[in-house]
Amino acid sequence: MTNQVGIDMNSDSESDELLQYNPNRLLDTLIENLRLKNDAALSRALEVAPPVISKIRHHRLPVGASLLIRMHEVSDLSIRDLRYLMGDRRNKFRISDKQFKPKEGAAPAAPSNTGEQS
């Protein structure tokens, strides 16, 4: 199966380059597909500050969900293709149960007062 950007997603002979996390491949593909000149033009197209693109390129900032959605909106590439380009091979994105647990020693949330009476 070949995706929109011409990568065979079922190939057994994929190079190590395609199997490793590399957000630069994603950014370079977006620049090429959108016919932009550089990272500054990409940051304007994505409506993010230029340091965001720089931090992603230097592996200091992950590609967040909201930016991935924005990339999808601007490029018309599927989220799956965008994730594949940056090296994310998970079939499903799973949120850790730790993200929903209260911090140690934190007070429980107060019940909401919506004005309803029982």
Q: Is position 32 within any domain?
A: yes
Q: Is position 101 within any domain?
A: no
- pLDDT for 76 equals 94
Q: Is position 75 within any domain?
A: yes
Q: Is position 10 within any domain?
A: no
- pLDDT for 20 equals 83
Q: Is position 14 within any domain?
A: no
Instruction: List average pLDDT for each run of 10 residues in the chain, which is 118 residues long.
Output: 54 56 95 98 98 96 94 96 87 61 66 59
Q: Is position 48 within any domain?
A: yes
CA 22 to mean position of chain CA atoms: 12
Q: Is position 1 within any domain?
A: no
Note down the domain range covering 73: 23-91
- pLDDT for 89 equals 75
Instruction: Please count the structural domains in the chain.
Output: 1
Looking at residue 54, which CATH number applies to its domain? Answer: 1.10.260
Q: Is position 113 within any domain?
A: no
